[in-house]
Amino acid sequence: MSAVGKTASADPSTEFTLSEVEGLGMTAAAALGMTAAREALEHELVAWLNQRFAPDGPRIHAETLLFTSGLLDSLRILELIAWTERAIGREIADRAIRTDNFASAARIAALFATEGPDAHR
C-alpha cells in the first residue's frame, strides 16, 4: 500500500496510508501538495524571520518559540501577520490571530499553508 508522508521522516507513525488520505476525501496528489505548500511556507518564513529579526543573532529555526524566546512582541506580531497574509495570498481570520497560532514558523506553516476552511483555526 502506498503512503503519503506528513513529514520527511521515515517514522511510520508520521505517514498516512493512501486509504487514510482517500478516507479524508483527498487525493494523494492533494495531500502531497499540502505538504509541499507547508514546507515551502515554513522555509520562506524562517528565512524572513532570520533576515528581519535576527540578522546578527542566533539563528531562528522552524521550531524556535518566537514569543517565549523574546524574538516577537506585540508590535512585531503585526509584521509577522502581515508577512504571512502576503505569503499565503489571503487574510487570516480574526479568530485565528492568537499567539499560540504564531508560536513558531512550523506552527504558522501547519495552520495557514493550506487553502480552504480548515486553514483558519
Domain ranges of the chain: 35-119
Per-residue pLDDT band for 35 (boundaries 50, 70, 90) equals confident
Query: What mean pLDDT do residues 52-79 have?
Result: 92
Q: State residue 36's pLDDT score.
A: 85
User: Quick one: DSSP state of residue 2?
Assistant: -
- The residue that leads in pLDDT, 2 or 36, is 36
Instruction: Look up cell 522552524; give the residue.
Output: 62
What confidence score (pLDDT) does residue 26 get? 47
The candidate with the shortest Cα–Cα distance to 117, out of 15, 13, 25, is 25
Label residues 34-60 b or e (16+ Cβ within 10 Å = b). bbebbeebbeebbebbbeeeeeeeeeb
> Per-residue pLDDT for 88 more than 80?
yes
Q: Calculate mean pLDDT across residues 14-43.
A: 61
Architecture of domain 35-119: Orthogonal Bundle (1.10)
